Amino acid sequence: MGAALRTFEAAGGWPEVRGLAVDPADLAELDEAVEFAVRWHGDQRRPAGEPYLEHLLEAVRVLVEGVGVTDTDVLRAAVLHDVVEDTGCSLDEVRERFGPRVAELVGWVTKDEPAEGQSKAEVRAAYLDRLRHAPEDALLVKLADRLSNVQRLDTHPRPEKRRAYYRETLATIVPLARQHPWFRAWYATWAREFAYLDTPDGRQVPGA
């Protein structure tokens, strides 16, 4: 039997995550990023109903506790990674507030708006393909982002989405994790634990 899947929670909000092993000198910059994200994401919720901020902070927790990231720009990008895609904030606003490197990282993990005649599915496919060429730090943010989204995939309210997301993650994200030992091991455990989703009915066999 393989190791149990490690999950990362942030139900305690920023005060809980803030207490992780991050250089105290960097906390003010992270505080600013969290405040910015809270203002833009407002009362957005995740599919299972949790406050959206939990997802952003879970990604931070993955990077700090799982991978050992201490780079403030990478951690701020994790906090801000959905602010352009999912709110009215522009990448220029991120750049003006947090600098070019954070904006570049956020840009890499942000899907483009569909061009004329382009479907959302085509945009998503192009985005996932582009990630193969992402710089190392942007890839870390993406891997942490997806980890947060799939670690409790069985709580997603739509069974068809669970199956599609599982298969997409296997096909496009797991290959990106291969060059990172910690992420490679985590996604291998995750793939085994949720393998039942890759069955015709996507149901777990009792006792399996």
Of the residues 85, 93, 137, 193, which is catalytic? 85
**Contact in structure between 41 and 52 (CB atoms under 8 Å):** yes
Domain count, the chain: 1
Of the residues 9, 32, 50, 86, which is catalytic? 86
Tokens of 56: 């952003």
Q: Is residue 63 part of a domain?
A: yes
Q: Is residue 60 part of a domain?
A: yes
Q: pTM for the full model?
A: 0.93
CB under 8 A, 24+ apart: contacts of 26-29: 26/70, 26/72, 26/75, 29/72, 29/76
Q: Is residue 128 part of a domain?
A: yes
**In the chain, which residues have pLDDT < 70?**
1-2, 21, 201-208
Active-site residue flag, 86? yes
Q: Is residue 204 part of a domain?
A: no
Handedness of CA 64, 139, 190, 11 (dihedral sign): positive
**DSSP state letters, 76-142:** HHHHHTTHHHHSS--HHHHHHHH-HHHHHHHHHTSPPPPPTT--HHHHHHHHHHHGGG--HHHHHHH
Active-site residue flag, 85? yes
* Confidence at residue 115, expressed as pLDDT on a 0 to 100 scale: 82
- The CATH number of residue 72's host domain is 1.10.3210.10
Q: Looking at this protein, which amino acid is placed at residue 199?
A: T
Number of other residues whose CB lies within 10 A of the CB of residue 205: 7
pLDDT digits (tens, 9 = 90+) for 66-122: 999 999 999 999 999 999 999 999 999 999 999 999 999 999 999 988 888 788 889
* Confidence at residue 1, expressed as pLDDT on a 0 to 100 scale: 44
**Contact in structure between 165 and 173 (CB atoms under 8 Å):** no
Q: Is residue 203 part of a domain?
A: no
Domain that holds residue 17: 13-198
